[in-house]
Amino acid sequence: EVQLLDSGGGWGQPGGSLRLSCAASGFTFSTSIMTWVRQAPGKGLEWISTISSSGKDSFYADSVKGRFTVSRDNSKNTMFLQMNGLRAEDTAIYYCAKDDRLDHWGQGTLVTVSS
Amino acid sequence: DIQMTQSPSSLSASVGDRVTITCRASQGIDDFLAWFQQKPGKAPKSLIYAASNLQSGVPSKFSGSRSGTKFILTINSLQPEDSATYYCQQYKFYPLTFGGGTKVEIK
């Protein structure tokens, strides 16, 4: 069974940093594209970033480009999202998902950015 | 960027009804279209990928179709547990983009 466990959310100050993790199991992580999606309170879904299976290639939404960095450790079946330069508008539930067609999702982790 | 225009934004239907939700892409995306169901407080769940392929474990009451850049999600025999918000998503081009969502309520 595919399982994705998001963690690392919490409170961050404007301009501060947080690091999210997504622990994967139940599939061959090292051959899977992985994606981050977020959802602001009461809003729709917003794609944030996708990383290739090897980690060599990554793609970002304009809203986070230059501030967020996606990475992965295939030896630990884990993907990361380093979030720097946090803004109030980054407040959202962050989900990791498998592949670019998002066939499985984590439970989400809440990030709140506030002074 | 590919714009995904989803309609209606909300609908109310009775138990047993057939419901259709439409998503239109601003340019051709072939069959690179997925549909998701999200219930309040829960993560989205994949229903359909490649426009018309049912995700494993999803009931056959859900179906997807495509005509050009127009995609349709159909829910047959609507039940109370189908009350949710439904999203489409294209994965042909980056940035990946979602429709605005359709909230389905039961009368």
- With CB atoms and an 8 Å threshold, state whether B36 touches A101: no
Give the whole-angstrom CA distance, residue B52 versus residue A4: 25
Inter-chain residue contact A95 with B44, CB threshold 8 Å: yes
The amino acid at residue B90 is Q
Q: Do B96 and A44 make contact, defined as CB atoms within 8 angstroms?
A: no
Calpha distance A50→A60 (Å, rounded): 7
Best of B31, B55, B87, B91 to mutate (most A CBs within 10 Å, chain A): B91
Three-class SS of residue A39?
A: strand
pLDDT in tens, chain A (115 residues): 999 999 999 999 999 999 999 999 999 999 999 999 999 999 999 999 999 999 999 999 999 999 999 999 999 999 999 999 999 999 999 999 999 999 999 999 999 999 9
Cβ within 8 Å, pair B91-A104: no
Q: What is the pLDDT of residues B3-43, one digit of tens each?
A: 999 999 999 999 999 999 999 999 999 999 999 999 999 99
B46: helix, strand or coil: strand
